[in-house]
Amino acid sequence: MLVSATEMIKKAHEGHYAIGAFNINNLEWIKSILTAAEEAKSPLIMEVSEGAVKYMCGYKNVVDMVRNVHDSMNITVPVALHLDHGSYEGAKKAIEAGFTSVMFDGSHYPFEENLAKSKEIIELGHAHGCSVECEVGGIGGSEDGVTSSGELADVNECKTIAGLGVDMLAAGIGNIHGIYPANWKGLNFERLQEIQAAVDGKPLVLHGGTGIPAEQVKKAITLGVSKVNVNTELQLAFQAATREYVLAGKDIDKAKKGFDPRKLLKPGAEAITAKTIELMEEFGSYQKAE
Ligand code: 13P
């Protein structure tokens, strides 16, 4: 059974580690990430962007697919299915379809509107036993057509949204989606500390997990980050392993049927599993599932 992220995030916050939230795209991603969580005995947040939901034929199909794969693999660790950067309509659809966790990203609205819509989604989510993440201040970079110039979240706005009873809060602290530019200044720990103090111990979420040096991620976790989002890094792991397979000419080996899609996609899928386990160790969730 898929679970809400509330309990696992609360425990992670108390235990000073973080749960990795890994973006999925298709069957290979689902299987590989579930395999990693089971092997690492780690709680897991499997997240999906609205673009990937569309690619995967809609909310209902994503819920059915993840549930069925999860059950058929006899997964024993806690797993939440989470909507990443949900729109107001998307978050509602995901909750109705059976997602166990959603992010409502209202950071592009004027604050009052973000607040009103966040309140509504939190109430709807909680009525369905679904955990809710909201966002204050844009996360830089671009993901699935959602772009933001990136900013440091306003501490008072964080406090106000946290007061709505949100389960976890994404707040910009200099992090961006995708590859970090060479002149990136790093995470702003001062702002992170100010936010954590203002939100009364509410768990915080670090977006843009790809490419942040491990020491900075670990420091952010000690300062209150309990969920780290990773998307691009798994895509790169998949791409590198697939490229190696193709460049070695294995796909054109007719005798070994290297063109069989299950063979062609296998190195990439295994690379996703290996990278996910590595990140679970880095975030400290390794062996934390009961
Ligand atoms: P990266 O693609 O930079 O890992 O960011 C993922 C993310 O924050 C998803 O919301």
**What confidence score (pLDDT) does residue 145 get?**
58
Q: Whose CA is closest to 139, among 114, 174, 91, 186?
A: 174
Q: Which of 47, 102, 230 to mutate to test the pocket of ligand 1 (most atoms within 8 A of CB)?
A: 230
Cα–Cα distance measured from residue 40 to residue 220, given in angstroms and rounded to the nearest whole number = 22
Cα–Cα distance measured from residue 87 to residue 95, given in angstroms and rounded to the nearest whole number = 12
- 63 C-alpha vs ligand 1 centroid, how far in Å? 21
Cβ of 230 closer than 6 Å to ligand 1, yes or no, is yes
**What confidence score (pLDDT) does residue 150 get?**
55
Residue 84 annotated as catalytic = yes
**What confidence score (pLDDT) does residue 183 get?**
83
Angle between helices 59-72 and 27-40 (to 10 degrees): 40
- 84 C-alpha vs ligand 1 centroid, how far in Å? 9
- 282 C-alpha vs ligand 1 centroid, how far in Å? 16
**What confidence score (pLDDT) does residue 142 get?**
61
Six-digit token string for 123: 């109430």
Cβ of 50 closer than 6 Å to ligand 1, yes or no, is no
**What confidence score (pLDDT) does residue 144 get?**
60
If you write DSSP's letter for every residue of 188-248 in order, what string do you get? -HHHHHHHHHHTTT--EEE---TT--HHHHHHHHHTTEEEEEE-HHHHHHHHHHHHHHHHT
Cβ of 231 closer than 6 Å to ligand 1, yes or no, is yes
Cβ of 208 closer than 6 Å to ligand 1, yes or no, is yes
Cα–Cα distance measured from residue 161 to residue 168, given in angstroms and rounded to the nearest whole number = 10
Give the start-to-end residue ranges of the domains of the chain: 6-232
- 125 C-alpha vs ligand 1 centroid, how far in Å? 23
Cβ of 177 closer than 6 Å to ligand 1, yes or no, is yes
Atom of ligand 1 nearest to the CA of 233: 4
Please state which CATH number belongs to domain 6-232. 3.20.20.70
| Residue of 64, 71, 84, 200 marked catalytic | 84
Cβ of 138 closer than 6 Å to ligand 1, yes or no, is no
Residue 187, classified by CB atoms within 10 Å of its CB into exposed (0-12), middle (13-18) or buried (19+), is buried
pTM flag (> 0.85): yes
Taking the chain (290 residues) in consecutive chunks of 10 residues, what is each chunk's mean pLDDT? 97 98 98 98 98 98 98 98 98 98 96 97 98 88 56 93 97 90 89 96 95 96 98 98 98 97 98 98 95
H-helix or E-strand containing 84? strand 79-86
Q: Which of 22, 147, 176, 177 to mutate to test the pocket of ligand 1 (most atoms within 8 A of CB)?
A: 177
Atom of ligand 1 nearest to the CA of 84: 10
- 260 C-alpha vs ligand 1 centroid, how far in Å? 31
- 275 C-alpha vs ligand 1 centroid, how far in Å? 15
